Amino acid sequence: MEQSNTVYPEILKRNSLKVTQPRLKVLEIISTKDSAISQPELEKLLGKDIDRVTLYRVLASFEEKGIIHKIFDLHGTATYAMCSTNCSEHDHHDQHVHFICRVCNSVYCLDEITLPKVNIPNGFSLEAIAVNALGVCNHCKK
């Protein structure tokens, strides 16, 4: 989901977040990746620019606001990907399948495959649905 640099400040403002360099940098990295990215991978890419605590706070605020969503890879590590544009702080719409490569452990959002509505019992409250497809990505297949 490639976006121009002028879009990042607008995403932050629309979500009532202060425009800061750490937030802009994390948003830029996540939005330009073709697969979900883990916090350790983000740390490597950011280098000394952002400390670990700030990164955790940025990821938590982005997830809370509906800017990113969290997917767990095969090893149980949290990875992060951009939410669709119609997600908000109180209403996530990222109910789609995630493809996990069993070779490189990369996680890809399959946005075009939506999940059916899940009817839950009265009194229950649905917070998330996780459906993963496991296989080999095109990079590892070569």
Position 86 confidence tier, pLDDT thresholds 50, 70, 90: low
- The model's pLDDT over 35-63, given as tens digits with 9 standing for 90+, comes to 999 999 999 999 988 999 999 999 999 99
In this predicted model, what pLDDT tens digit does every residue of 24-36 receive, in sequence order?
Answer: 999 999 999 999 9
Please give the sequence-ordered ranges of beta strands (E in DSSP) within 7-141, or none if there are none: 37-38, 68-72, 78-82, 96-101, 107-114, 131-135
Number of structural domains found in the chain? 1
Any binding-site annotation on 87? no
Which residue segment(s) compose the domain that 104 sits in? Answer: 6-135
Give dist(CA 113, CA 48) in Å, integer: 38
Q: Is residue 62 part of a domain?
A: yes
Residue 28 maps to which CATH number?
1.10.10.10
Is pLDDT of 3 > 60? no
79 domain residue, yes or no: yes
**Cβ(25)–Cβ(8) below 8 Å:** no
Under 8 Å between Cβ of 78 and 111:
no
Q: Is 83 annotated as a binding residue?
A: no
Condensed to tens digits (0 to 9), the pLDDT of residues 105-136 reads 999 989 888 788 889 999 998 877 788 999 99
Tell me if 141 is assigned to some domain: no
Residue 123 falls inside a structural domain: yes
Q: Does the pLDDT of residue 94 top 70, yes or no?
A: no
Interatomic CA distance for residues 132 and 63, integer angstroms? 20
119 occurs within a structural domain:
yes
